[in-house]
């Protein structure tokens, strides 16, 4: 549905994206996972035609470059930076952006009600945005991306800086949208979100795509072994194993155990293995 | 103390990182100081009033008066018109036309009879000087009236200190006084006065015809007593419509319009920077619109606001303050042209002032500078001559001219072409600068 081919983008001395190629399939939730400054937002910026790549190309299937008006009408973007008119109400913001995307009046009223309900802002629809909490603003930022009901969504760190309740709300929304067949590109530096939501994940660091695949495949390929940590007879042991269940059973049957913990490999382990650094470094 | 110092140094460091903030903290005040320094440095070149001089009399006294006017450093006097090489002395009609178009502050006319007035100043006659001033230049008109009086009395002083001319003038005065209807005691007093003047200046007493006065009937020459007024300066305001009285709000209305437009430009010029900083410009860029459409939408909003502010002011002026618009069609043209011109200014500011700080500080400062140069804050005549010439780069000047032209200057469609053309050029150039320099992302 969206093909990024050998994208390269430099800002002065900083090479933000370095030869990145990706193909997003229709109907999938694709996660772009990487630490802050990895090049995720720059990649999204080029994908939506906001930034012009120094090299490479972006193509929306059947339409062409994302700078084309027809391509933009099919994209819904929630930028990482909140992009809302704070002096206007949620309803006014949504109506304004809906009109920009050419949604006709009757359809707009319908969509307005639907997205406000989806993001849980129906009761506050007429309040000015500047009075909203951070989480409410994030949800409205997402709602604006949805107002024209686009088939493809690009969500750039949609949970940045929100409280756990709003985060869960947003994650549920993304899952619902995916269930309705929307294609979603989701950037995050939270590996838990990528693991929960994404069909496939691309791991990006220093502008380069390091690995690409399903969470399961990535963990199997790069995550290493599970670690069973056990405390017995006052001694702490750390055992690496491919089968933590069997190892745990063995340890428990061997004698008295004061404490035991299993650490399975995850996307954090994958990133550590690929870069030698933690995602949160 | 260390913490306080650290805070202070950090704030100063932050200031150095914000180039716009740095400029408006240090650079702009220096520019303003230089600007006012140049205005008030008092080198004589900055405050010359530009006037037209029409000499209808042509006698020696009027020529001497004209020479005084020409020599005066506080005046810049135009005495001729036409192209280089084909210059002709100004006639009253041309002088009045120059005032009407606002190209000079006033037209000074030395009418026929000036010579006779100069010769008969001790016998109730006056050197008559007529001035026709631009209604919108009241401050300059006041200065001009004072200047003409000063020069008139200087002329009188020349007569008093020139023995031949004084003798001639006193002889004429004796004859006129004797022939007048003044009573004998008044005639005697004048006779003594003239004799004393002759003694003081010439050391000689001419023969008199009655020791200072012939008999009279006790009344003044005109039946209302003697009113000695050797210099008579009459300054009147230019009236396009002689049938109806002038309204001072007609003068202030164009100024109000200009400041209203300035408010629109300041508000919309900063709006783009604010949208950029808040990220909403990014959303607009990602919407299925061309950049030209986004720019056109922004420009249209500013244009509508400019039109509205002018219409509101016009409605207020006409309905409440009885301002009469003599040329309603030209007024409509002036409103459209000034709106387009100021939209161009807004676009240029939106493109050039890239951050909110630059837009808030710089944008307003640039507008203020344009207002200053264009006569929106200080009268143009105060500015140095080169700055008066440079006022042409300010849309404030041309908007004021166009609106005054429609309200009270009695502009024809041809007269309106220049200000309207310049305003449209401002709009076009500003639009090009704005679109070429506009940055879409933070």
The pLDDT value given to residue B404 = 87
Q: Worst-scoring range by mean pLDDT, B30-39, B287-296, B308-317? A: B30-39
Q: Report the residue from A75, A79, A101 with minimal CB separation from B279.
A: A79
State what percent of residues in chain B have pLDDT above 70: 75
φ, ψ of residue A208 in degrees (nearest 5): -115, 145
Name every chain A residue with its beta carbon within 8 A of the beta carbon of B290.
69
Q: Kindly report the pTM of this predicted structure.
A: 0.71
Q: What value does the mean pLDDT of chain B take? A: 77
Between residues B276 and A155, the one the model is more confident about: A155
Q: Which residue of B has its CA nearest to A148?
A: B287
Q: How far is CA A28 from the centre of its chain?
A: 12
Residue B434 has pLDDT above 80, yes or no: yes
Between residues B436 and B80, the one the model is more confident about: B436
The band of A35, judged by pLDDT with boundaries at 50, 70 and 90, is confident
Name every chain A residue with its beta carbon within 8 A of the beta carbon of B280.
83-85
Name every chain B residue with its beta carbon within 8 A of the beta carbon of A67.
none
- Would the CB atoms of B279 and A73 count as touching at under 8 Å? no
Rounded Cα–Cα distance for residues B285 and B439 (Å)? 11
CB B149 within 8 Å of CB B164: no
Residue B208 has pLDDT above 50, yes or no: no
The pLDDT value given to residue B181 = 79
- Would the CB atoms of A50 and B287 count as touching at under 8 Å? no
Pick the residue of B275, B280, B297, B439 with the most A CBs within 10 A to test the interface with A by mutation.
B280
**pLDDT tens digits for range B17-71:** 667 666 665 666 566 666 666 665 555 445 578 889 999 988 888 888 888 888 8
- Would the CB atoms of A48 and B286 count as touching at under 8 Å? yes
**pLDDT tens digits for range B112-141:** 988 888 777 666 677 888 888 887 777 777
The residue among B196, A15, B61, B354 whose CA lies nearest residue B69 is B61
Q: What is the mean pLDDT of residues B319-346?
A: 92
Rounded Cα–Cα distance for residues B32 and B134 (Å)? 29
- Edge-first strand order for the sheet with B127-133 is B75-78, B49-55, B106-110, B127-133, B231-237
The pLDDT value given to residue B105 = 84
Name every chain A residue with its beta carbon within 8 A of the beta carbon of B286.
48-50, 72, 75, 77
Q: Of the segments A204-218, B30-44, B207-221, which one has the largest average pLDDT value? A: A204-218
Q: What is the mean pLDDT of residues A241-265?
A: 88
CB B55 within 8 Å of CB B129: no
Q: Worst-scoring range by mean pLDDT, A51-55, A176-180, B214-218, B256-260? A: B214-218
Residue B220 has pLDDT above 60, yes or no: no
- Would the CB atoms of B284 and A102 count as touching at under 8 Å? no
Name every chain A residue with its beta carbon within 8 A of the beta carbon of B289.
69, 72, 100
**pLDDT tens digits for range A10-27:** 999 999 999 999 999 999
Name every chain B residue with its beta carbon within 8 A of the beta carbon of A100.
284, 287-289
- Nearest-Cα distance to chain B for A85, in Å, is 7
Q: For B63-118, give the DSSP string.
A: HHHHHHHHH-TTEEEE-EESSTTS-EEPPHHHHHHHHHTTSSSEEEEE-TTHHHHH
Pick the residue of B287, B290, B301 with the most A CBs within 10 A to test the interface with A by mutation.
B287
The pLDDT value given to residue B224 = 39
- Would the CB atoms of B289 and A48 count as touching at under 8 Å? no
Name every chain B residue with its beta carbon within 8 A of the beta carbon of A97.
283, 287
Question: Does residue B290 sit at the A interface (CB-CB below 8 Å)?
Answer: yes
The pLDDT value given to residue B156 = 74
CB B397 within 8 Å of CB B369: no
The band of B206, judged by pLDDT with boundaries at 50, 70 and 90, is very low
Q: Which residue of A has its CA nearest to B297?
A: A100
SS3 label, residue A151: coil
The pLDDT value given to residue B209 = 44
CB B424 within 8 Å of CB B335: no
The residue among A92, A94, A89 whose CA lies nearest residue A76 is A94
Between residues B230 and B243, the one the model is more confident about: B230
Q: What value does the mean pLDDT of chain A take? A: 90
Q: What is the mean pLDDT of residues A121-150?
A: 94
- Chain A and chain B share a number of CB contacts under 8 A equal to 50
Residue B82 has pLDDT above 80, yes or no: no
Name every chain B residue with its beta carbon within 8 A of the beta carbon of A84.
278-280
Pick the residue of A45, A50, A76 with the most B CBs within 10 A to test the interface with B by mutation.
A50
Name every chain A residue with its beta carbon within 8 A of the beta carbon of B440.
50
Residue A67 contacts by C-beta under 8 Å, 6 or more apart in sequence? A49
Between residues B179 and A125, the one the model is more confident about: A125
The pLDDT value given to residue B441 = 65
Q: Worst-scoring range by mean pLDDT, A84-98, B226-240, B414-428? A: B226-240
The pLDDT value given to residue B207 = 42
- Nearest-Cα distance to chain B for A31, in Å, is 21
- Would the CB atoms of A81 and B282 count as touching at under 8 Å? yes
Residue B227 has pLDDT above 70, yes or no: no
Q: Which of residues 207-236 of B touch A (CB under 8 A)?
A: none
The pLDDT value given to residue A281 = 57
Kindly provide the ipTM of the predicted complex, given to two decimals: 0.82
- Would the CB atoms of A50 and B284 count as touching at under 8 Å? no
Q: May I ask the CATH class of domain A2-219?
A: alpha beta
Report strand pairing: A14-24 vs A2-11: antiparallel
The pLDDT value given to residue B343 = 93
| Distance (Å) of CA A203 to CA A17, A31, A36, A79, A232 | 13, 8, 12, 20, 38
Residue A86 has pLDDT above 60, yes or no: yes
Question: Does residue B286 sit at the A interface (CB-CB below 8 Å)?
Answer: yes
The pLDDT value given to residue B39 = 61
The band of B178, judged by pLDDT with boundaries at 50, 70 and 90, is confident
Q: Report the residue from A45, A73, A97 with minimal CB separation from B283.
A: A97
**pLDDT tens digits for range B369-382:** 888 788 776 666 66
- Nearest-Cα distance to chain B for A223, in Å, is 37
The band of A279, judged by pLDDT with boundaries at 50, 70 and 90, is low
Q: How far is CA B430 from the centre of its chain?
A: 27
Residue A235 has pLDDT above 50, yes or no: yes
The pLDDT value given to residue B212 = 39
Q: Report the residue from B285, B288, B290 with minimal CB separation from A50.
A: B285
CB A21 within 8 Å of CB A5: yes
Q: 């240029």: which residue's tokens?
A: B348
- Nearest-Cα distance to chain B for A233, in Å, is 52
Residue A148 has pLDDT above 90, yes or no: yes
- Would the CB atoms of A85 and B280 count as touching at under 8 Å? yes
Name every chain A residue with its beta carbon within 8 A of the beta carbon of B287.
72, 97, 100-101
- Would the CB atoms of B287 and A100 count as touching at under 8 Å? yes
Rounded Cα–Cα distance for residues B337 and B358 (Å)? 27
Between residues B249 and A101, the one the model is more confident about: A101
Q: What angle, 0 to 180 degrees and rounded to 10, lies between the N-to-C axes of helices B60-71 and B138-161? A: 130
Q: What is the mean pLDDT of residues A95-119?
A: 93
- Nearest-Cα distance to chain A for B441, in Å, is 8
């Amino acid at each position: 549905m969206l093909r990024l081919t050998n994208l390269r983008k430099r800002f002065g001395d900083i090479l933000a994206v370095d030869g990145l190629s990706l193909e997003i399939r229709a109907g999938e939730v694709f996660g772009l996972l990487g630490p802050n400054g990895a090049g995720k937002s720059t990649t999204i910026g080029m994908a939506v035609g906001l930034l012009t790549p120094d090299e490479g190309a972006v193509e929306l299937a059947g339409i062409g470059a994302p700078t084309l008006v027809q391509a933009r009408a099919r994209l819904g973007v929630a930028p990482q930076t909140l992009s809302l008119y704070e002096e206007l109400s949620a309803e006014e913001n949504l109506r304004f952006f809906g009109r920009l995307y050419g949604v006709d009046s009757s359809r707009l009223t319908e969509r307005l009600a639907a997205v406000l309900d989806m993001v849980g802002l129906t009761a506050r629809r007429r309040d000015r945005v500047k009075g909203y909490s951070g989480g409410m603003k994030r949800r409205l930022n997402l709602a604006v991306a949805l107002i024209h009901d686009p088939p493809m969504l690009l969500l750039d760190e949609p949970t940045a800086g929100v409280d756990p309740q709003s985060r869960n709300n947003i994650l549920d929304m993304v899952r619902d949208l995916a269930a309705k067949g929307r294609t979603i590109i989701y950037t995050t530096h939270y590996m838990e979100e990528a693991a929960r939501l994404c069909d496939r994940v691309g791991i990006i660091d220093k502008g380069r795509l390091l690995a690409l695949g399903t969470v399961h495949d990535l963990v199997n390929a790069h995550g290493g072994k599970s670690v069973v940590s056990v405390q017995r007879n006052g001694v702490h042991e750390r055992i690496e194993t491919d089968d933590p269940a069997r190892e745990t059973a063995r340890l428990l049957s061997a004698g008295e155990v004061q404490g035991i913990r299993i650490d399975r490999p995850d996307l954090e382990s994958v990133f550590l293995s690929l870069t030698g650094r933690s995602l949160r470094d | 103390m260390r913490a306080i110092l650290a805070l202070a140094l950090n704030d100063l460091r932050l200031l150095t990182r914000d180039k716009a903030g740095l400029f408006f903290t240090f650079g702009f005040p220096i520019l303003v100081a230089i600007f006012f320094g140049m205005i008030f440095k008092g080198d004589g070149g900055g405050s010359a009033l530009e006037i037209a001089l029409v000499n209808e009399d042509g006698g020696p006294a009027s020529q001497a008066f004209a020479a005084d006017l020409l020599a005066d450093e506080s005046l810049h006097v135009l005495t001729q018109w036409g192209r280089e090489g084909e210059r002709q002395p100004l006639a009253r009609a041309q002088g009045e036309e120059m005032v009407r178009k606002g190209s000079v502050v006033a037209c000074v006319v030395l009418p026929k009879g000036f010579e006779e007035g100069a010769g008969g100043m001790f016998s109730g006659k006056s050197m008559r000087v007529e001035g026709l001033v631009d209604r919108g230049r009241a401050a300059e008109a006041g200065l001009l009236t004072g200047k003409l009086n000063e020069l008139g009395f200087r002329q009188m002083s020349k007569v008093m200190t020139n023995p031949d001319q004084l003798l001639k003038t006193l002889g004429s005065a004796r004859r006129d006084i004797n022939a007048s209807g003044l009573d004998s005691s008044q005639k005697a007093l004048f006779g003594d006065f003239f004799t004393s003047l002759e003694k003081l200046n010439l050391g000689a007493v001419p023969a008199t015809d009655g020791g200072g006065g012939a008999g009279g009937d006790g009344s003044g020459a005109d039946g209302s007593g003697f009113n000695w007024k050797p210099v008579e300066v009459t300054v009147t305001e230019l009236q396009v419509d002689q049938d109806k009285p002038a309204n001072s709000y007609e003068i202030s209305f164009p100024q109000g319009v200009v400041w209203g437009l300035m408010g629109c430009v300041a508000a919309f010029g900063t709006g783009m920077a604010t949208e950029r900083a808040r990220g909403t410009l990014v959303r607009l860029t990602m919407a299925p619109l061309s950049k030209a459409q986004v720019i056109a939408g922004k420009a249209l909003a500013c244009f509508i606001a400019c039109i509205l502010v002018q219409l509101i002011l016009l409605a207020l002026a006409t309905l409440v303050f009885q301002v009469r618009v003599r040329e309603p069609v030209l007024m409509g043209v002036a409103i459209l042209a000034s709106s387009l011109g100021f939209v161009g200014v807004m676009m240029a500011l939106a493109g050039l002032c890239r951050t909110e700080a630059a837009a808030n500080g710089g944008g307003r400062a640039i507008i203020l500078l344009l207002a200053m140069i264009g006569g929106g804050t200080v009268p143009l005549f105060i500015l140095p001559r080169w700055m008066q010439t440079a006022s042409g780069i300010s849309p404030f000047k041309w908007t004021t001219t166009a609106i005054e032209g429609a309200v009270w200057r009695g502009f024809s469609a041809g007269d309106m072409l220049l200000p309207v053309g310049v305003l449209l050029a401002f709009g076009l150039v500003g639009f090009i600068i704005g679109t070429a320099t506009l940055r879409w992302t933070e």
